[in-house]
Every structure is written in structure tokens, then in C-alpha cells.
């Protein structure tokens, strides 16, 4: 355990609603583990905990997992010192009332944190840390604080375990691939974790026609379903599309969070989606392509553009992201939307180096809550 001597030991209640593909739960679990590893007591409430069976099969010391039922079961429960709402989930009035009562009786300050979604857009820095007085309901008189993760020093940072880089440095790629049953013969390895990207067909064609052999390591779930459907379609419409067998495909089982990190470290290029896997790809330091969660109002396009600006992405990487995310013709010349990971490596290396200069999210969050009086 990495005990943060500067931070008092507190009891944290983290609430999470599983909205889509367990990404929210993944972030909440990583946060819970980060806190527990630093000597904090954590109770994680989730309305669907089933994914933890494969995401974190061994559990973690210092974390109690509770089913977030409707109505919530508060039998024998005393609220903790810190209340975390992840991603705008609304905590039950009964729990808020119990927390308000607890702060009064214990004399503890109200440490109620709204942990927001990750974004490189300007509002993240502008709104990070702002107080929000509660003016109605059982929490009336309390104050929430907005906490924005981010990529710059004026935001709340990114989740990073204290020993992450040491583990990465010791990672044995060949041994891990052998344990997964991947018959690696030195070919380029590309990991694929995605929804149903607009550019999937083009990627498969590109890899199949490339002189460099590639093994595509496909994650379980929606990525696997999308790839199988695309391959069946190509086999039906253009049977010779992969006649040189330059592209081979390996479908992975469900991976724990630890082994998903290992997948990113083992691969030469990583395709990631959402929030949690994007952060882990940044720490891996390999070329990567990000699929944002598609939103009907087009907000994901702005989110992607802001991130690529922060990343200082070269033109080919920007154009490829546009194509991958189905965001229409890129402003770059058509030829720039090529798969060019060698050109993207420097960008990934520099981004990782910039982020390592910043304090991680959990350390910042401990400092932030300690200053609330």
C-alpha cells in the first residue's frame, strides 16, 4: 500500500450508474483502487456490479462494493466523510439526508464532489473546483464542488497509480502474449477496442493490403461483434480482400483492467474508445486512435477536436480520427487520412512526457478534499 502521509484517512462513498459498456464503472473502480492504495477506506455503490467479476476478479483490499438499489438500502450504513457523484449521477435523497445529518453530528465539513467527464475543452479548466451551493431538498445548505479531470495543470489531472511506470518498464511482452494464447511471430500488433466506428472497413482494407503483416487483437464485446460483421460482409462482397493474409485477427476474452493495460503495452498501435481506455493508452505511450462516445447533438466532434489540439496531433492523425469517427471529410488532403503510426509515435511520446510532469488525479483529489473546511 502506498500511504499518502499528507492526507488524512477518510471514508469515501463513491456512487456510479452504469450507463454504457461499463466505462463509468471502470473509472469508478480505478478511482476506488487508487484511493484504497493510499490508505483511504472506500465504499463503491453501483447499480450494476456484474462487470467487476471480470474487470477486477480479485477485488481489492480497502474497498467495499455495495449494490445501489432502488430504493437504496441504508441498513447499518453510516455515510462516509467524502461523497463522490461520478458523471452527474443523482444520489438518492435518503442518502443525502443521512450525509447531511452525519456532517452536522460529526462536525466534519461537507466534502461532496461531483466528478465530471474528462474533456480537453476550455470549460474543464474554467469550472474545475467551483463550489455549487445546494439550495433545495435534503442537502439544502450543503455545498458540492465540481471536479474536472483533465490534461493540463489547471484541471484535476488523470488517474495514475504510483507504480504504473515501474510496472510498464518491467513488462514482458512475449510472455504476456503467450499466456493469452496469441501466436505472435513478430508481426505488428494492433489492439482494437471500439464501438462501431465508421472507418472500420477502411482500416481492415488498409491492414490487409499493407506489406507489413498485422495481427489485430480484438477485445470482447462490441468491438468483436463489429469486426465479425465487417469481415463477413467483405468475404461476401469481395472474397479476395485479404488474399495475401497480411491481416490476421485474434479475438480476446474479457480482460481484467490489469490485463487491458497489458494489452495496450504489448501492442504497437492502440485503438481505444470512451474515457478510461484513452487515459490508459496515453500512459502506454504508443500511437493510438480514439473513438469518442457518439452523441446525437454532435458534441463529441468538439470534444475530439479539443483533445487533438491538446495532443498537438500531426495532420495525418487528425485526418484519421475524422475518418474513424465518421465526422465527414477532413480539412486535410484526402491522402493525409492514412494509417501512419510511425508518424504518430513522437506525438504519443511527447504527450506522455507532458502528463508525467503533472500530479495525478487521486493525489490532487486528496489535496482538494483536505482543503475543504
Query: Does the structure show a pLDDT above 90 at 197?
Result: yes
Give catalytic status of residue 13 as yes or no: no
The pLDDT tens digits for 230-259 are: 999 999 999 999 999 999 999 999 999 999
Whether 11-158+358-370 shares its CATH topology with 164-356 is answered yes
Measured CA to CA, the distance from residue 258 to residue 171 in angstroms comes to 12
CA distances from 112 to 12, 46, 63 (A): 10, 17, 19
| Burial label, 53 (beta-carbon count in 10 A; 0-12, 13-18, 19+) | exposed
Q: Which residues contact 135 (CB under 8 A, 6 or more apart)?
A: none
CA distances from 347 to 208, 337, 369 (A): 26, 16, 34
Query: Does the structure show a pLDDT above 70 at 162?
Result: yes
Strand ranges inside 130-210, DSSP E = 131-133, 143-147, 188-192
Cis peptide bond upstream of 71, omega within 30? yes
Measured CA to CA, the distance from residue 179 to residue 86 in angstroms comes to 35
Q: Please state which CATH class domain 164-356 belongs to.
A: alpha beta
Cell 508481426 sits on residue:
187
- Report the sign of the C-alpha dihedral through residues 195, 69, 33, 95, in that order: positive
How are strands ordered across the β-sheet holding 214-218? 247-251, 214-218, 188-192, 269-273, 288-291
Assess contact for 194 and 223: CB atoms under 8 A.
yes
Check residue 19 and give its pLDDT. 82
Greater confidence, 293 or 103? 103
Lowest mean pLDDT: which of 226-240, 288-302, 321-335? 321-335
Query: Does the structure show a pLDDT above 80 at 334?
Result: no
Check residue 221 and give its pLDDT. 94
Q: How many CB atoms lie within 10 A of CB 12?
A: 23
The pLDDT tens digits for 116-148 are: 999 999 999 999 999 999 999 999 999 999 999
Q: Which residues contact 11 (CB under 8 A, 6 or more apart)?
A: 40, 41, 42, 43, 80, 81, 82
Measured CA to CA, the distance from residue 345 to residue 281 in angstroms comes to 12
Give catalytic status of residue 24 as yes or no: yes
Check residue 35 and give its pLDDT. 98
Measured CA to CA, the distance from residue 246 to residue 266 in angstroms comes to 19
Cell of 242: 485479404
Check residue 282 and give its pLDDT. 98
Pairing of the two strands 63-67 and 11-16 = unpaired
Point out the catalytic residue in the list 4, 24, 37, 85: 24
- DSSP, collapsed to helix, strand or coil, labels residue 302 as helix
What is the third-level CATH fold of 11-158+358-370?
Rossmann fold (3.40.50)
Pairing of the two strands 11-16 and 41-46 = parallel
Check residue 296 and give its pLDDT. 79
β-bridge partners, 143: 133
Q: How many CB atoms lie within 10 A of CB 93?
A: 13
Confidence of residue 331 (pLDDT cuts 50, 70, 90): very low
Check residue 335 and give its pLDDT. 54
Query: Does the structure show a pLDDT above 60 at 333?
Result: no
Task: Please compute the mean of the pLDDT values over residues 96-100 and round it to a whole number.
Answer: 97
Point out the catalytic residue in the list 275, 276, 336, 360: 275
The pLDDT tens digits for 69-92 are: 999 999 999 999 999 999 989 999
φ and ψ at 241, to 5 degrees?
A: -60, -30
For the chain, which residues make up each domain, given as ranges?
Answer: 11-158+358-370, 164-356
Does the model's pTM come out above 0.75?
yes
Check residue 332 and give its pLDDT. 46
φ and ψ at 179, to 5 degrees?
A: -65, -30
pLDDT above 90 coverage of the chain, percent: 91
Task: Please compute the mean of the pLDDT values over residues 169-188 and round it to a whole number.
Answer: 97
Amino acid at each position: 500500500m502506498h500511504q499518502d502521509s499528507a492526507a488524512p484517512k477518510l471514508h469515501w462513498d463513491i456512487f456510479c450508474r452504469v450507463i454504457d459498456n461499463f466505462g463509468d464503472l471502470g473509472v469508478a473502480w480505478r478511482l476506488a483502487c487508487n484511493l484504497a492504495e493510499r490508505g483511504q477506506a472506500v465504499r463503491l455503490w453501483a447499480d450494476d456490479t456484474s462487470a467487476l467479476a471480470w474487470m477486477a476478479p480479485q477485488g481489492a483490499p480497502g474497498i467495499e462494493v455495495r449494490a445501489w438499489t432502488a430504493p437504496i438500502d441504508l441498513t447499518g450504513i453510516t455515510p462516509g466523510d467524502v461523497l463522490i457523484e461520478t458523471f452527474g449521477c443523482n444520489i438518492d435523497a435518503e442518502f443525502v439526508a443521512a450525509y447531511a445529518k452525519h456532517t452536522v453530528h460529526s462536525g466534519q465539513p461537507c466534502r461532496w464532489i461531483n466528478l465530471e467527464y474528462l474533456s480537453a475543452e476550455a470549460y474543464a479548466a474554467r469550472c474545475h473546483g467551483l463550489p455549487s451551493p445546494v439550495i433545495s431538498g435534503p442537502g439544502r445548505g450543503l455545498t458540492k464542488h465540481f471536479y474536472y479531470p483533465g490534461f493540463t495543470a489547471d484541471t484535476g489531472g488523470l488517474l495514475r497509480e504510483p507504480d504504473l511506470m515501474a510496472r510498464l518498464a518491467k513488462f514482458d511482452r512475449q510472455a504476456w502474449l503467450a499466456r493469452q494464447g496469441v501466436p505472435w511471430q513478430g508481426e505488428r500488433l494492433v489492439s482494437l477496442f471500439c464501438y462501431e466506428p465508421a472507418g472500420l472497413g477502411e482500416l481492415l482494407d488498409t491492414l490487409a493490403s499493407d506489406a507489413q503483416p498485422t495481427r489485430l487483437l480484438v477485445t470482447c464485446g462490441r468491438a468483436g461483434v463489429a469486426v465479425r460483421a465487417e469481415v463477413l460482409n467483405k468475404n461476401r462482397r469481395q472474397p479476395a480482400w485479404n488474399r495475401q493474409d497480411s491481416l490476421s485477427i485474434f479475438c480476446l476474452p474479457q480482460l481484467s483492467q490489469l490485463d487491458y493495460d497489458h494489452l495496450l503495452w504489448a501492442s504497437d498501435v492502440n485503438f481505444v474508445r470512451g474515457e478510461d481506455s484513452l487515459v490508459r493508452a496515453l500512459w502506454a505511450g504508443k500511437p493510438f486512435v480514439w473513438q469518442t462516445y457518439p452523441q446525437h447533438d454532435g458534441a463529441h466532434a468538439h470534444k475530439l477536436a479539443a483533445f487533438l489540439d491538446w495532443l498537438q496531433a500531426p495532420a495525418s492523425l487528425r485526418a484519421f480520427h475524422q475518418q474513424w469517427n465518421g465526422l465527414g471529410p477532413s480539412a486535410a488532403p484526402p491522402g493525409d487520412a492514412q494509417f501512419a503510426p510511425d508518424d504518430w509515435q513522437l506525438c504519443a511520446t511527447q504527450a506522455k512526457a507532458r502528463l508525467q510532469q503533472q500530479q495525478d488525479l487521486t493525489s490532487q483529489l486528496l489535496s482538494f478534499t483536505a482543503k475543504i473546511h
